[in-house]
Amino acid sequence: MLAVLAPGQGAQKPGMLSAWLDLPGAEPFFRWAGAIADADLLTLGTEGDAEAITDTAVTQPLVVAMSLFVARELGGLPGPVAHVPHDGRDVVIAGHSVGELTAAALAGVLSVEAAIALTAVRGRAMAAACDRTPTGMSAVLGGDPDEVLAAIEEHGLSPANMNGAGQIVAAGPLDGLAALEADPPAKARVMPLSVAGAFHTPFMASAREELEGLVGGLRPTDPSRLLLSNADGAAVDSGAETLRRLVSQVTSPVRFDACLATLRELGVTAVIELPPAGALAGLAKREWRGAGIEILALTGPDDLARARELIDAERGRSEAEHFPDWRMVVAPARGTVSPAAIAEGTSLPAGTPLGCIRGRREEVNVSAGYDGVLAEWLVHEGDLVDAGDPIARLYPEVPA
């Protein structure tokens, strides 16, 4: 199975569009995307300096438009630009933060136009929320996860991003972030991030309210590819639920660690990160070190040939390779497990809740990452599990 990852804000770099403009249709695409977003994305992506491309209002639609253009250039990816009906099992798609709107378009939930327009509204609304209260974000790298979370709470901050690979992003008031940097958890370092405010926290409530008032006018379709959610790493099987999660995610933590756990559980063999690429590929490489999964960051047009090879290889796999005898469902976090009341032998569609993991400071939901039959529970109510421990065994269902 091939995974396609869509980056979020923070992945942008000055001049990031320049290398791609020689591709056919690139300049008209970004002028058209800029008209939808009411921003000069072409100039911003070629001439904008480091300060200009951190402006939340315009950076978010720029990142999403760039990812969607390169996905279209690849040709073999799903989505409303060049969509080919399929059984949906060859590709799994996950985005990080605003990259979830890219992922929704690639899965066919939103049109490219709707994804860019919604991203532009999201970016402007979040920028306005940032202006109301001075806040920020800092990455905490390393350390014991429980100790890091305790330190974040102690300083009145929120864990905005649980990225995996030993990276947790704290967000909140600037004085709390300064105190965390001055007194970091053991064996951890704190790195301030160049962002406008505390994304994915209650400080973004006004932006969430604005989006809630807008999405009712959209008519999403159900995903045509396996689409993972930042809320809990679970697959989402309806367009309406995808939209609901996209809105709620503005004030909720990004659980990219849970997405990485689901991808590993699904048996992903190769990963392509769309541009502006590098950050998510780096997380995946560190999290899956030694797993033998090829991870390709599309940093320039020269990488397109290998990406097409990976897509073609996945398209040519046999059904036997798509559907192994069984796969494990693993715990996305450490804590006490509470399995769902589902009998062994039950047929489960992708996204079915399988229970939750209750840790010291959070509760993480566990869901089936694909269609299958619950073959065997491997835990009981109240068992203590670590991240990566097996919870259940599923037999994938092969379509007739």
Active-site positions read: 97, 200
Q: Report yes or no: 16 and 275 within 8 Å, Cβ to Cβ.
A: yes
Give me 231's structure tokens. Answer: 């809320």
Q: Report yes or no: 222 and 92 within 8 Å, Cβ to Cβ.
A: no
**Distances from the Cα of 222 to the Cαs of 100, 225, 241, in angstroms?**
15, 9, 9
**DSSP codes of every residue in 159-199:** EEEEEETTEEEEEEEHHHHHHHHHSPPTTEEEEE---SS-T
Q: Which residues of 3-24 are buried (b: 16+ CB within 10 A; e: fewer)?
A: bbbbbbbbbbeeebbeebeeee
For residue 253, the SS3 value is coil
> Which amino acid belongs to residue 260?
L
Q: Which helix (H) or strand (E) holds 264?
A: helix 256-266
Q: How much is the CA Rg of the chain, to the nearest whole Å?
A: 20
| Cα distance between residue 31 and residue 36, in whole Å | 9
Give me 199's structure tokens. Answer: 């994304």
Cβ-proximal residues to 353 (8 Å cutoff; 6+ apart), any chain: 234, 340, 365, 366, 367
Q: Report yes or no: 52 and 45 within 8 Å, Cβ to Cβ.
A: no
| Cα distance between residue 162 and residue 165, in whole Å | 9
Burial class (CB in 10 A: 0-12, 13-18, 19+), 237: middle
For residue 239, the SS3 value is helix
**Distances from the Cα of 380 to the Cαs of 344, 374, 377, in angstroms?**
13, 15, 8
Handedness of CA 299, 302, 308, 309 (dihedral sign): negative
> Which amino acid belongs to residue 92?
V
